[in-house]
A = this chain, B = another copy of it.
Amino acid sequence: MDSKQFKEAATSTIDEIITYFETLPQRDVVSSVTPGYLRPLLAPSAPAEGEPWSLIQSDLESKILPGITHWSHPGFHAFFPCATSYPSILGELYSSALSGACFNWICSPAVTELETIVLDWLSQLLGLPSCYLSTGPTNGGGVIQGSASEAVLTAMVAAREKYLLETIPSDLSEEEREDAIALKRAKMVALATTATHSSTKKAALILGVRFVTIPVTAATNYSLTAPALSSTLSSLRARGLEPFFLTATLGTTDTCAVDDFAGITSSLSTSPFPPGTPGEIWVHIDAAYAGAALVLPEVQSSTKISLIEKFHSFDMNMHKWLLTNFDASCLFVRDRKWFVQALSVNQAVYGNSASAGGLVTDYREWQIPLGRRFRSLKIWFVLRSYGVKGLQEYITRTAKIGEEFAEWVNEKKDLFEVLTGPSFALTVFRMTGKDEEERNERTKKLAEKINASGKIWITSTVLDGRYAIRFMTGVARTEREHVKAAFGVICEAAEGIVKGE
């Protein structure tokens, strides 16, 4: 494909993309293909000779698009959003042209420096304490990860290394030290709550440390509180185990609960290893989705985000509720040396004078992979194109629609019961019924009926044995009118279920 052919192909791709977004509402939100649909449609192997773009593009339209579930569809109310926007697409476009494996500063200084700068911008915008700024008092800073799972894994690796460094005597022989580490590792526990995202469990599994969940229930609105944390810590320590890591959440997956940061701080302060002392518990804040709402000063204050100053790392995904393409998981750490000392692996071929001089950041030492894409470009484009006000308006608008939805659900007390929310554009509700069994049965049936409509997509979950439907309104193209129509679909389906249809 030469420049002329590319120009033609790319121009037509841009037209297709615009048409795609404009015709989204006319498509079903979830693909209805059956498993294995694609293989019979494609050749059994790569073609011997190159094929013209026209053929490839027409296959994309006829064979691939029917297999796409549309995350930007106004009827997408499942999980959390996975964003895209025009400025972000332009960022990916430039980034793909400037392709490079930018693991070290010298591999493209702008890739490193823009990342540091836009993550500082974001840190300020979200009202994070100044310790998370690269220019802050504790040598903190931000780094873009692929996903919140990689962020929590990275934080946990750093936390383990920090804990071992702080708790194993430094005067041991090499052999004694290996034994001490092996012994210690077998006792180390990573903590989360029963509402925490599964990525913390997966990270513990990968690290090979124990994983314990702290039960949270409807009584505390599914958020972690001081008594629950203190009680788990005491019981673990009584068994000779050593908790070293805790994921606290700002916006849990099921219900968008926010853990009680003040309570966590006070619980840890009275523990044998209070914050700031050797052996302290690393607290990682998973704000993957709801962290976006911190662009609003009132959310900074209601969630008490300033308290995370005593914690260690914070992660939020711009690719969920902040108009940026997957992947853009923004991980902030209070002291970047914790990452570097855990993840630095040197090899002669990567040596260069800029790195050796210690004046630059080599992001390979802040992450699991070596190479990295130029992902800060799309964040920069989004922050500048929308501006702070544009982002605030977007969050306010979609959260407001969620509040209206919750009101409508609440008004239909004969049919529905709101279980949690509205919280960060998410409402969790279920159907009424004569007993738990009927409520569960009806809600399950309702979820199936709604999704079968093809027009909207929701996900369901189970809260303390109660089957429930999650309804999220954070997608950029979702307007009040779409949600109003969706509520009509939901009511009609629910009425049918009550009538035994």
Interface residues of A (CB under 8 A from B): 1-3, 5-7, 9-11, 13-15, 17-18, 20-22, 30-31, 33, 35-39, 42, 45-51, 53, 55-56, 60, 63-72, 79, 82-90, 92-102, 105-111, 113-114, 117, 120-122, 124-125, 146-150, 153, 157, 160, 178-179, 182, 185-186, 197-199, 201-202, 205-210, 253-254, 319, 325-327, 342-343, 345-349, 351, 354, 357, 359-360, 368-373, 377, 380-381, 383-390, 459-462, 470
* Copies held by the complex: 2
A108 touches B22 (CB 8 A): no
**Chain B residues whose C-beta falls within 8 Å of the C-beta of A72 in the assembled complex:** 99
Nearest 10 pairs of A and B residues by beta carbon: A67-B110, A182-B186, A84-B99, A71-B100, A50-B387, A147-B369, A38-B113, A92-B96, A6-B86, A46-B383
The closest CB in chain B to the CB of A369 belongs to: B147
Q: How far is the CA of A459 from the CA of B355 in the complex (A)?
A: 14
Shortest beta-carbon distance, A151 to chain B, in Å?
10
The closest CB in chain B to the CB of A50 belongs to: B387
**Chain B residues whose C-beta falls within 8 Å of the C-beta of A386 in the assembled complex:** 50
**Chain B residues whose C-beta falls within 8 Å of the C-beta of A107 in the assembled complex:** 69, 71
Q: A208-B185, A345-B205 are in contact. Are A89 and B100 (CB under 8 A)?
A: no
**Chain B residues whose C-beta falls within 8 Å of the C-beta of A348 in the assembled complex:** 254, 460-462
**Chain B residues whose C-beta falls within 8 Å of the C-beta of A11 in the assembled complex:** 11, 14
Shortest beta-carbon distance, A64 to chain B, in Å?
5
Q: A69-B109, A84-B97 are in contact. Are A459 and B46 (CB under 8 A)?
A: no
**A101 contact from B18, B71, B117, B470, Cβ within 8 A:** B71
B202 touches A326 (CB 8 A): no
A47 touches B202 (CB 8 A): no
**Knowing that A202-B345, A205-B343, A348-B460 are A-B contacts, what are 17 other residue pairs whose CB atoms are under 8 Å apart, sorted by A's residue number?**
A9-B86, A13-B90, A21-B97, A38-B110, A46-B387, A50-B385, A50-B386, A53-B87, A64-B114, A65-B110, A67-B111, A68-B98, A69-B109, A150-B369, A326-B373, A349-B459, A349-B460
| 12 CB < 8 A contacts A-B | A11-B11, A35-B359, A46-B388, A48-B389, A53-B90, A67-B113, A79-B101, A150-B368, A150-B369, A185-B185, A206-B368, A254-B349
B31 touches A3 (CB 8 A): no
**Chain B residues whose C-beta falls within 8 Å of the C-beta of A209 in the assembled complex:** 208
The closest CB in chain B to the CB of A91 belongs to: B96
A387 touches B47 (CB 8 A): yes
Q: How far is the CA of A61 from the CA of B371 in the complex (A)?
A: 24
Q: How far is the CA of A299 from the CA of B95 in the complex (A)?
A: 33
Shortest beta-carbon distance, A70 to chain B, in Å?
8
**Chain B residues whose C-beta falls within 8 Å of the C-beta of A147 in the assembled complex:** 369-371
B202 touches A46 (CB 8 A): no
Q: How far is the CA of A359 from the CA of B461 in the complex (A)?
A: 22
B35 touches A360 (CB 8 A): yes
**Chain B residues whose C-beta falls within 8 Å of the C-beta of A149 in the assembled complex:** 368-371
Q: How far is the CA of A67 from the CA of B107 in the complex (A)?
A: 10
Q: A69-B108, A253-B349 are in contact. Are A96 and B101 (CB under 8 A)?
A: no
Q: A10-B90, A92-B92, A345-B202 are in contact. Are A99 and B385 (CB under 8 A)?
A: no
Shortest beta-carbon distance, A14 to chain B, in Å?
5
**A97 contact from B20, B67, B385, Cβ within 8 A:** B20
Q: A38-B114, A113-B38, A368-B150 are in contact. Are A381 and B56 (CB under 8 A)?
A: yes
Shortest beta-carbon distance, A84 to chain B, in Å?
4
A100 touches B82 (CB 8 A): yes
Shortest beta-carbon distance, A315 to chain B, in Å?
13
**Chain B residues whose C-beta falls within 8 Å of the C-beta of A157 in the assembled complex:** 205-206
